[in-house]
A = this chain, B = another copy of it.
Amino acid sequence: MTERAFVPGHVTGFFSAHPNDDPLVAGSRGAGLALSDGVQVAATPAEETTLAVNGERVEMAAVANVLDGFAVDARVECETVLPVSAGFGVSGACALGTALALDAHAPDHPDLTPRTENELVALAHAAEVEAGTGLGDVVGQARGGVPLRLEPGAPPHGRLDGLPARPEVEYVTFGGLDTAEILTGDTAALTRAGEAALDRLLDDPSAGTFMAASRTFAREAGLLTDRVATTIEDVQDAGGEAAMAMLGRTVFALGSGLSDAGYDARRCSVTSGARR
């Protein structure tokens, strides 16, 4: 039998990087949006591990690490409308979805014992950190809504809050950024800008301040590309709110901000956390 899980997409507006030798303690602080455009994951214990995303066989270290954590092989199939490597947390979603779906086999599988959600989130977070493909998507995706990462890391190390807002969101993407390259480079300026953005948002925890703090962060962290910057300006000129998704050449906007500015954008909404 195949078990399934849904994990929301997650765009980060700003973050600070907090590396640590322990992947459960390592992570990021920052803020993002959990999106109804997400990843449907189906997992079945199998003789040999295979992973397909939208029907295409791929390798994904975060998923492989999750399966190592369970010490089982499995056939994992992920379906998503989200672009990969463009700042939507697809690898984190695949990792967390694999953990949730595989755990559902525990009652019938001799090598699996049931785990709590915190245990599954911790496993997927560590898997993603060790893969170098993300620092905060998994905990945000598990929580849902508008997650604020107050303290880095997986449960019980990390600490989360959220904005109660549930806005509609539009997005458009112009390609990927190399998350691993940025996260293993000099993150001092980025982290300074991310900490300032979080302070600002906690001072005024509103959707508008989230977007404004995210724009300031992208500029100060030196991550803004020309096309992304122009698109954000276009949305603001049309009276909307937009920012850059970390880490991708992606712009997200509140409500109909991108279509109002004439872009052909995909529309979704902020949604609850991962579930099976």
Tallying the copies of this chain within the complex gives 2
Q: Are A155 and B161 in contact (CB under 8 A)?
A: yes
Query: Least Cβ distance of A143 to chain B in Å?
Result: 9
Q: List residues of chain B with CB within 8 A of the CB of A100.
A: 164
* A205 touches which of B116, B156, B164, B202 (Cβ 8 Å): B116
A227 contacts the other chain (CB 8 A)? no
Complex: A28 Cα to B161 Cα, angstroms: 21
Complex: A107 Cα to B162 Cα, angstroms: 17
Q: Are A118 and B161 in contact (CB under 8 A)?
A: yes
A68 contacts the other chain (CB 8 A)? no
Complex: A159 Cα to B116 Cα, angstroms: 13
Name A residues whose Cβ lies closer than 8 Å to a Cβ of B: 100, 103-104, 106-107, 113-120, 144-145, 148, 155-156, 159, 161-164, 166, 202, 204-206, 272-273, 275-276
Given contacts A104-B164, A106-B206, A116-B148, 13 further A-B contacts (CB under 8 A): A115-B164, A115-B205, A116-B161, A116-B164, A116-B205, A117-B161, A117-B164, A119-B161, A144-B272, A144-B273, A145-B275, A166-B276, A273-B273
